Amino acid sequence: MIDSTSAEHTPSAVPRLAAVGVKKQFLGVQALQGVDFSVGPAEIVAVVGENGAGKSTLMKILAGVQPPDVGQIRIEGQPVQLRSVEEALTNGIALIHQELNLSDNLDVAANIFLGREPQTWGWIHQDRMHRDAGEALQRVGLDVDPATPLKDLPIGQQQLVEIAKALSTQAKVLIMDEPTSSLSHRETERLMEVIEQLRETGVSIVYISHR
């Protein structure tokens, strides 16, 4: 079972991202049964349920990790087929995993632009990358030097680097899987503040939790 709650929104607005009648099964086990879901512009929606309720399956379908067996995914009201994470990113949808997808061996800027480094003929523009990384960090309120090794940051700040990485792709929808599971109480409070600030700038948030 998947329960969802949301911030205030305009009912008549076209959802930024929606799932309509989505079904998914694995080896005969029904993970999702006719799920309808939507998140609007500048809206926070929480998807809550116990382990095995289908939260992760829905998240992966919305983020292009796997296709639905039945049903549609719609962006701004238009049906789309998200055949990969890259296609989801192209459509403004970014997934932030519970286990951070970052490298301790790289600095903050390199993590934010890993695989997307600004370059010409194979030559990486370090100054531009660090400048753009600084702008992404500002959006999440993280005041650190982009040249700082990631391993020198506490886990709460690494979580913000992961969010900055997603925002650097121009994502309009952030899907966050159990984002507070490894955070302290203070780090969780800070993350909640950042999520609300992002909502105020127009970003849509899908917040996955088991509690």
Domain boundaries, the chain: 3-209
Q: How far is the C-alpha of 59 from the C-alpha of 53, rounded, in Å?
A: 12
Structure tokens at 144: 């650190």
Predicted confidence at residue 211, as pLDDT, reads 65
Instruction: Tell the residue number behind the tokens 């939260």, with chain if given.
Output: 55
The pLDDT value given to residue 6: 47
Q: What is the pLDDT of residue 178?
A: 85
Tens digit of each residue's pLDDT, the chain (211 residues): 444 444 444 544 799 999 999 999 998 889 999 999 999 999 999 998 887 788 889 999 999 999 999 999 999 999 999 999 999 999 999 999 888 889 999 999 999 999 888 888 888 888 999 999 999 999 999 999 999 999 999 999 999 999 999 999 999 999 998 888 888 898 889 899 999 999 999 999 999 987 6
HEC secondary structure over the chain = CCEEEECCCCCCCCCCEEEEEEEEEECCEEEEEEEEEEECCCCEEEEECCCCCCHHHHHHHHCCCCCCCEEEEEECCEEECCCCHHHHHHCCEEEECCCCCCCCCCEHHHHHCCCCCCEECCEECHHHHHHHHHHHHHHCCCCCCCCCEHHHCCHHHHHHHHHHHHHCCCCCEEEEECCCCCCCHHHHHHHHHHHHHHHHCCCEEEEEECC
The CATH number given to 3-209 is 3.40.50.300
Give the other-Cβ count within 10 Å of 164's Cβ: 25
pLDDT of residue 151: 96
Does the reported pTM lie above 0.75?
yes
